[in-house]
Amino acid sequence: MRHWPLTALQLTTADLVLRLPSDDDLDALAQVAADGVVPDGAVYFPQPWASAPPAERAKNVVQNHWWARGDWTRENWRLLLAVFHDGQVIGQQNLSARDFAITGEARTGFWLGRRFQGHGYGTQMRAAALALAFDGLGAARVTSTAFADNAASRAVSRKFGYRPNGVHRISVDGHRYNAHEEVIEAADWQGCASVVPVGIAGLPDCIPLFR
Ligand SMILES: CC(C)(COP(=O)(O)OP(=O)(O)OC[C@H]1O[C@@H](n2cnc3c(N)ncnc32)[C@H](O)[C@@H]1OP(=O)(O)O)[C@@H](O)C(=O)NCCC(=O)NCCS
């Protein structure tokens, strides 16, 4: 699409392709969410969309993608990429920032359908987002936040050498959770960049949207 160059942005890792979803892809992604993202009763997100009933979960995914595109400004953007394995959509990788041109700081979020978890894809997804942020956009630092008991998410950050950046107390549905923020700086990324090679295509025309 000539007037929304992000449609041509594509990140690739050994097993995955990350790109904006078409509406058909988005429908498939919503079904992956409906089929399950977190174990029953687990709360891993400040907005508890993943523990809503399946149909609501799916609708939330669709609307969130449309909202992120409609609401996009250079001062406040959220890139929501669908993740594909062998042509099948399996999850979502986010990269977002406020006033990125000034702060150089972005944050990531990610999720996979339950049946796609535990195969190393989360590690490749995070690497793709970090490569885009640091190598593609020149970020200075990237943060990630995970609830205390989210072992998989925190393990991914640990693998890339993130450092602790404080614990926030968050209320979700009347219960208190400790959210651990972790940060990785550009210099730390240089040491890991070769661990999970990432290809970036279609970025030059998108740069003015980010900074
Ligand atoms: C978080 C998530 C995206 C990670 O993706 P993943 O593909 O499952 O993670 P990986 O397979 O790349 O595993 C990364 C590391 O976590 C470890 N890990 C995975 N699940 C784990 C668990 N339940 N307990 C402890 N460690 C775990 C793996 O052993 C691996 O480390 P290793 O390579 O040193 O062995 C995925 O699990 C998910 O979608 N979870 C539900 C949604 C969610 O929590 N999103 C993040 C919110 S902050």
Category of 114 on φ-ψ map: left (φ > 0), alpha (ψ -120 to 50) or beta: alpha
User: Which residue lies with its CA nearest to atom 14 of ligand 1?
Assistant: 156
How is residue 10 written in tokens? 């594509």
pLDDT digits (tens, 9 = 90+) for 29-88: 999 999 999 999 999 999 999 999 999 999 999 999 999 999 999 999 999 999 999 999
How much distance in Å is there from the Cα of 121 to the middle of ligand 1? 9
Residue 192 in this model has a pLDDT that exceeds 90? no
pLDDT of 194 reads 84
Ligand 1, from 96, 110, 119, 177: best to mutate by most atoms within 8 Å of Cβ?
A: 110
How much distance in Å is there from the Cα of 151 to the middle of ligand 1? 7
How much distance in Å is there from the Cα of 157 to the middle of ligand 1? 10
How much distance in Å is there from the Cα of 154 to the middle of ligand 1? 8
**Domain 5-210 in this protein, CATH class:** alpha beta
Residue 28 in this model has a pLDDT that exceeds 90? yes
Instruction: Please identify which residue in the block is written with the tokens 């987002």.
Output: 129
- The CA-based angle 77-139-186, given to 5 degrees, is 145
pLDDT digits (tens, 9 = 90+) for 100-153: 999 999 999 999 999 999 999 999 999 999 999 999 999 999 999 999 999 999
How much distance in Å is there from the Cα of 202 to the middle of ligand 1? 29
Whether 196 contacts 127, CB under 8 Å: yes
Q: What is the CA radius of gyration of the chain?
A: 16
Helix (H, G, I), strand (E, B) or coil at 132: helix
Helix (H, G, I), strand (E, B) or coil at 58: helix
User: Which residue lies with its CA nearest to atom 6 of ligand 1?
Assistant: 122
Q: What residues flank ligand 1, with Cβ below 6 Å?
A: 37-38, 44-45, 110-112, 117-123, 146, 150-153, 155-156, 159
Q: Residue 182, class by beta-carbon neighbours within 10 Å (0-12 exposed, 13-18 middle, 19+ buried)?
A: buried
Domain positions in the chain are 5-210
What CA dihedral angle connects 19, 23, 25 and 26, to 10 degrees?
Answer: 90
